Amino acid sequence: MAIVNGFCTLAEFLALHDIDSVNAGDDAFIEDAIEQASRAIEIFIGRQFYASTETRYFDLPKERRLDLDKALLSISTLTNGDGSTIAGGQYNLWPKNSQRHWAVVLKQSSSICWQPGSSGDTESVISIAGSWGDLDRAGTDPESVRLTETTKRACLAAVLDSYHKRFGKNDTGSVQVTGAGVVITPQGLPQDVRDILSVLRRMV
């Protein structure tokens, strides 16, 4: 299978943990674990750590600032409510000194204003086609590199935990034994992954 928006690759996992896998079923398990770990990290942090190309629609703002509902990395086309295209020189992305943006602000020097639709509609009339998400994993700026490496470390650790559990190994070093002698291993994310994610929460 092909890993979709995974935070590490099969080759990176195998190389890091010195696993010589020639078993297609084993590789498929690891690839599936990479996808699951990547989505679990995003759910835990509440952020999308990859870039997706899409067009999103917004209501007509009352001021020059258009607030966004998702982190924006870059704009390819900004379309006003009347169907006209707003050139990049007419607006700023906010915050300005960040790779992730949460608003589009028309410049004070610009004569352009946000416009309603042709029928006077104000709902979902502004469209932004661009790259969305909290991280462009191909980005080479320091902020993107830090987030890419941190999410990769968290993913690798979570996948290793899943891989070991597949063979009955408990990495946490702690178990609970019931009165009947039943061994219960801890559930949820292992501590090392949670430690990495706590750092990630502060970064975003």
Which alpha helices (H) appear in 101-180, and where do they start and end? 142-166
Per-residue pLDDT of the chain (204 residues), as tens digits, is 689 999 999 999 998 877 766 666 788 999 999 999 999 999 999 999 999 999 999 999 999 999 999 999 999 999 999 999 999 999 999 999 999 999 999 999 999 999 999 999 999 999 999 999 999 999 999 999 999 999 999 999 999 999 888 776 655 444 444 444 443 334 567 889 999 999 889 888
Distance in angstroms (rounded) separating the CA atoms of residues 99 and 136: 9
Nearest to 30 by CA among 181, 178, 179, 156: 156
Query: pTM for this structure?
Result: 0.83
